[in-house]
Amino acid sequence: MTETVVAVFLGLYLLHFAVETGLDGLNLIHTGAGQGVPPHLEGQVDAETAAKSREYTLARLRLGLVERAVTSAVTLAVLLGGFLPFLEQWVGAMILAIAGPPAGGAHLAPHFSVWFLMALGGVYTLAGLPFSIWGTFVIEQRYGFNRQTLAGWLGDRLKGLLLVLVLLVPLLYGVVWFMEASREGWWLWVFGLVTGFQLLMVWLVPMVIAPWFNTFTPLEDQELLKKVEALAEQGGFKAKGVFVMDASRRSGHSNAYFTGFGRAKRIVLFDTLLAHMEHDETQAVLAHEIGHYQAGHVKKRMVLNMAVTLVLLFIASRVAGYPQVFEAFGLGGGSPHGLLALLALCGGAFTFWFSPLFAWISRRHEYEADRYSVKAVGKPQALKTALLRLSRENLSNPVPHPWYAAYHYSHPPLARRLAALTPQQSPVPA
Ligand SMILES: [Zn+2]
């Protein structure tokens, strides 16, 4: 039985690896084979930008390929190389050394589960660090995007670690506690806890966490502010919720986004975007973000996440009844830490089929927000030039492979998005 479990897992795991690596390969060949300005962007992108965007895309793709190969090898080694039982022993010994011999031992069980999972997370964080460093200080640097020093970068990592300790560790304690205390229906309790946590984060991220990493200032440009107020009034969005973020302290990439709901909702414009755009363009982008608010996209995504979480937890609760699944990877049957570790390590092999679905939903939301912008501002040309400018300044891939874009892209590829903004014309005979 344990052999069957390993065989099924390995089959799906390798399929997942093959699908994503294959898509990367397709995109690499497709992007690398292109020459000059792609025909559908003729006159809208210059040759130099097109070439530079291709090079940048290829560099990021190659790094991604190596990173996937390494992390996949780590996962296989962890799952099949006896690392999990080794980690169990090691964490057990550490807790024993710190807390002393357990009187009965049961009271140490939640600590054991949480610190086992944290140690496992630590292994992946360490494995990912070289790629993050290379990505920032070699690739981003080479293309003129990086503005961070190594000290600044390390500071960000430390802040991230603190957030994990303050937010994630208590959440894990809660999850483990419910798993141990309420035998049968634990998955429902954990669902409630995780959903509460997600709701808290929707408020905490824009109001507390993001301002810890960046400075957010209300929009100052009076002329633009007037336009924003008119737009906001039309869209039922408070203009006070529009902020400019000092993104330029980290990177030259520019963007805008809408986040949160209730009192915590806000539209954020990167200072890098504001610096290069005409008023009409910024207005069109802001209207796009108000479009996300109008259509309730944040709430819709939240509900979708909740549904996925509920289904995954239910499946996990059923799996917990099969000790063979745990034994296949060297773990004792039915333990909370074992189940959560297997969920984190193996889950992707079963759920990656949903990636294209979620990406498709996200792209539909983008089209919807674009349509809102055109309706509210009435300047499709301004939105087009804004998108072209964003694409040019971020060196976005001008010619992604359609399958790659369908699987990964949360935003429609530029050419499609521009085409959707162009009213259909009936063919005129020459
Ligand atoms: Zn959008």
Taking residues 345-368, report their average pLDDT: 94
Q: Do strands 256-259 and 266-270 pair parallel, antiparallel, or not at all (unpaired)? A: antiparallel
Dihedral sign of CA atoms 381, 384, 388, 389 in order: positive
- Tens digit of each residue's pLDDT (9 = 90 or more) over 224-260: 888 888 888 888 887 678 899 999 999 999 888 888 8
Residue 153 Cα to ligand 1 middle (Å):
27
Ligand 1 centroid distance, CA of 416 (Å): 14
User: Above 80 in pLDDT, residue 40?
Assistant: no
Instruction: State the distance from the centre of ligand 1 to the C-alpha of 327, rounded, in angstroms.
Output: 45
DSSP output for 295-361: TTHHHHHHHHHHHHHHHHHHHHHHHTT-HHHHHTTT--TT-HHHHHHHHHHHHHHHHGGGHHHHHHH
CA distances from 404 to 52, 195, 401 (A): 20, 31, 5
b/e burial code for range 227-244 (CB count within 10 A of at least 16 → b)? bbeebbeebebebebbbb
Q: How confident is the model at residue 423 (pLDDT cuts 50, 70, 90)?
A: confident
pLDDT band at 220 (very low <50, low <70, confident <90, very high): confident
Contact 189, 182 (CB under 8 A): yes
Query: With the CA atoms of 71, 75, 80 and 83 taken in that order, what torsion angle do they form, in degrees rounded to the nearest 10?
Result: 100
Q: How confident is the model at residue 383, as a pLDDT?
A: 95
Residues 334, 20: Cα–Cα separation, whole Å = 31
Tell me, yes or no, if 289 is annotated catalytic: yes
Ligand 1 mean position, distance from CA 310 (Å): 27
Q: Which position among 289, 366, 368, 393 bears the catalytic label?
A: 289
Residues with Cβ < 8 Å from 349, sequence gap 6 or more? Answer: 9, 12, 13, 15, 16
Contact 353, 16 (CB under 8 A): no
Q: Is residue 370 annotated as part of the catalytic site, yes or no?
A: yes
Q: Which helix (H) or strand (E) is 116 found in, with range?
A: helix 109-134
pLDDT confidence band for 38 (50 / 70 / 90) = confident
The DSSP call for residue 174 is H
> Can you tell me which residue has the tokens 């997600």?
198
Q: Which of 20, 366, 370, 393 is catalytic?
A: 370
Cα of 405 vs centre of ligand 1, distance in Å, is: 16
Residue 385 reports pLDDT greater than 90: yes
Q: Looking at residue 236, what is its pLDDT? A: 83
Span 65-113, pLDDT tens digits: 999 999 999 999 999 999 999 999 999 899 888 877 765 555 678 889 9
Stated pTM of the model: 0.89
Question: Residue 162 C-alpha to ligand 1 middle, in angstroms?
Answer: 30
Which residues are near ligand 1, the ion (C-beta closer than 5 Å)?
366, 369
CA of 69 to the centre of ligand 1 (A): 31
- CA dist., res. 77 & res. 82, Å (int): 8
